[in-house]
A = this chain, B = another copy of it.
Amino acid sequence: MGVSLKDVALRAGVSIKTVSNVVNDYPHVTPAMRARVQQAIDELGYRPNLTARHLRKGRTGIIALAVPELGNPYFAELAGAVIDAAARHDYTVLLDHTAGLREKEMLVSQGFRAHVIDGLILSPIELETEDLLGRTDTAPLVLLGEREYDAPYDHIAIDNVAAARSAVRHLVGMGRRRIAFLGARRESARQPAHLRLQGWREELAAAGLPYGDELVAPTGGYGRADGAQAMADLLDRGAAPDAVFAYNDLQAIGAMRVLSERGLRVPEDVAVVGFDDIEESRYGSITLTTVSPDKQAIARQAVDCVVQRLAGSPGAEPRRVRPGHDLVVRESTLGRHR
């Protein structure tokens, strides 16, 4: 095995504790002693065994982040932000992906990494409230995203209804009358797109515009292909929308592709709004108008929640945090300026 504190102590002719003091930058060590120990450390190439430290302290300094799919740029960007936020608190992030499967989400939330991670940030899709209520693992859990749970855990999500309404309001303001919603979940007991769908409906109702089922396009998943498929379905059944509000940017991008294949112009014939503001939406031959959640804030607050529960108030009231969001208006609703 590697060199341990003991080896260094032996070499330097001091006690283990003294070496430990040096390694941990304890204040009360004479410079001479520090130098001597440091030399032994360097000569032996000593590196502290963090596993042993973790065992002793009961903490690992690792937070897990579980997202559905790293291939979705929204989650990739979010993960990057979480890694950075955690690093500022000297925490390391272990990344899991659940593929949005209830089974994997349960596994993760139930603590199959118990004792390896100090806390967990989970962005669930199919998880149910009852799954959460049966949780026995004691590591702090922070929930992310649109789904609402009646369970005692911190929850961080933007105001999805308000965000959706602002997107639809923008479309109405641009003179659109038949505004479709793309991305309701097909064949799912619960409806993960619930809040955005609700916002869409509320705003259309307020504007006196139609919001019937003929304007709702369900999808099987959350990717570009799913958005493309749903858009094709919508057109095929003659819904003839003059605008589409999609559950997320990937679906919006898939939809735009189909529109262009069918010879429909964006935004002249059909305006499109997405949700997430992934970097991809700022490129492409038509840039995408989209709801932009404050990813930095989401990441920061999620990590803060974990850190606070770990440090001070484990039994405090569950917090409900609402980071900000913006509507970023681009060519897919505004048209292109030359």
Contacts and interface: CB of A to CB of B under 8 A. Distances in A.
A71 B73 contact: yes
A70 B79 contact: yes
Nearest to A257: B283
A309 interface: no
Interface string A262-292: 0100000000000000011011111000000
A127 B47 CA distance: 22
Given A70-B80, A83-B95, A283 B51 contact: no
A55 interface: yes
A32 interface: no
Interface in A164-188: none
Nearest to A83: B97
B60 A253 contact: no
Interface in A122-161: 136-138
A111 B50 contact: no
A113 interface: yes
Contact of A95 (B2, B52, B93, B253): B93
A49 interface: yes
Contacts of A284: 253, 257, 284-285
A193 to B, nearest CB: 21
Given A51-B55, A76-B71, A256 B285 contact: yes
Contacts of A138: 2
A109 to B, nearest CB: 14
B95 A79 contact: yes
A279 B221 CA distance: 15
A68 to B, nearest CB: 11
Interface string A101-127: 000000000010111100000000000
A115 B47 contact: yes
Contact of A116 (B50, B83, B111): B50
A49 B52 CA distance: 12
22 contacts: A48-B114, A50-B113, A50-B114, A51-B55, A70-B76, A70-B79, A71-B77, A71-B279, A79-B95, A80-B97, A83-B96, A92-B94, A92-B113, A92-B116, A93-B95, A94-B94, A95-B95, A224-B282, A224-B283, A228-B283, A260-B285, A284-B284
Interface of A: 1-2, 45, 47-52, 54-55, 58, 60, 62, 69-71, 73, 76-77, 79-80, 83, 92-97, 111, 113-116, 136-138, 223-224, 228, 253-254, 256-257, 260-261, 263, 279-280, 282-286, 338
Given A50-B114, A73-B73, 8 more contacts: A50-B115, A51-B54, A51-B55, A51-B115, A52-B55, A70-B70, A79-B95, A284-B285
